[in-house]
Structure 1
């Protein structure tokens, strides 16, 4: 099996925990409280600003034209397309620009973005892109899982449709291909580091949903 197939199976319990999370179950059946979703989209906007920087760094470090194009395009999407979606949700759920700009990252958000930034600054390109991948792949799986069971009408339909869109799946497959290509040429030690990066980023994905569900902030 390829590196991505192997690590995807390895994190199956984490993926199941994400799909079974009450935040996503409530989002699917339309009963998620607006305040929990507001918490999520504000934190996600903070996350995306940093994720775009990490993608740009991956593009700069990519050894191939395909990698440079994919990650630079991904940074553009993070800034433009998803931020536009957030603005629509900000208006729908009553988040003002002042509220968004005045918010600080929660421990889950800061931990996730800081981890990705640390990969970009101190680890190999291979480990960096393995850590980037779960944000694509987990969201694609979530979108495909939630869409068939989502009630209609659903106040979160636009969010669901974004991550269940075939174009998002195609982007995920392209990043998977880059990660597999990098892993195939990597040493066993580097592949082990890639697996750790992928696993940790998937853990942060669960933590992000859980933080939104509990509307968690700093404990002190």
Structure 2
């Protein structure tokens, strides 16, 4: 069994809980409260900038030239392309650009950047994979289960359910499978753990938007 198949099986229960969340189902049927979407986009814009930095670190440390180029393109996409998408959301949904990072986003971005900088590069590749893979799966799930026309969040849905994003996800999965083949059993286990931890943080990120979680003392 490929490394990616085993890793996904390990987090299947987390993914199942994600698609059962009210936030996801309300996003699908267009009833998600505006303040939750605004909060989510604010935090996601912070996350993506730092996700791009983590990807750039992986590119700098990758062993194979193809991986250097792949993760460099991933980083560019996260910072440039995704930010352009968020810019349109800021305008359309009247979202303030003045905002602080919340506790969950803070935890997640620092986990990814520290892993990308300090851990084995193959482990870092595994840590950033859930952001690609879970978003694609969630996007596909919402797209296939839409119940309304003229969903105000349709642009978000089509971005992550789209074919172009799907190709990037396949690349990220294939990279992890390929490098895992060169790793020892212990190193593969570290990759699995990183993938699992980041998947937990994906759940917490959605949950924090649903509950508008902020620092208890500000």
- Report TM bin, short chain: over 0.9
1:121 positional shift = 2.1
TM-score by length of 2: 0.97
SS at match of 1:11: helix
Q: Report the counterpart of residue 117 of structure 2 in structure 1.
A: 121
**Alpha-carbon distance in structure 2 between the residues aligned to 1:80 and 1:121:** 22
Which structure 2 residues correspond to residues 1-220 of structure 1 after superposition, within 5 A?
1-95=1-95, 99-100=96-97, 102-150=98-146, 151-220=148-217
CA distances 1:55-107 after superposition (whole Å, capped 9, x unpaired): 00111111112211111001111111111111111011112xxx32x311111
Q: Would the aligned equivalents of 2:58 and 2:117 in 1 still touch at CA under 8 Å?
A: no
**Alpha-carbon distance in structure 2 between the residues aligned to 1:137 and 1:148:** 17
SS at match of 1:80: helix
- Which runs of structure 1 show a deviation greater than 3 angstroms over 4 or more consecutive aligned residues? none
Where in structure 2 are there 5+ consecutive unaligned residues?
A: none
1:120 positional shift = 1.4
Q: Would the aligned equivalents of 2:127 and 2:195 in 1 still touch at CA under 8 Å?
A: yes
Where in structure 1 are there 5+ consecutive unaligned residues?
A: none
CA distances 1:107-136 after superposition (whole Å, capped 9, x unpaired): 110000010011012210011000010000
**Alpha-carbon distance in structure 2 between the residues aligned to 1:77 and 1:178:** 17
**Alpha-carbon distance in structure 2 between the residues aligned to 1:3 and 1:138:** 16
**Alpha-carbon distance in structure 1 between the residues aligned to 2:11 and 2:18:** 11
**Alpha-carbon distance in structure 1 between the residues aligned to 2:145 and 2:88:** 23
Q: Which moved more, 1:181-190 or 1:194-203?
A: 181-190
SS at match of 2:72: helix
**Count of aligned pairs:** 216
CA distances 1:10-30 after superposition (whole Å, capped 9, x unpaired): 111001011111101000010
RMSD: 0.8
**Alpha-carbon distance in structure 2 between the residues aligned to 1:119 and 1:144:** 28
**Alpha-carbon distance in structure 1 between the residues aligned to 2:62 and 2:118:** 15
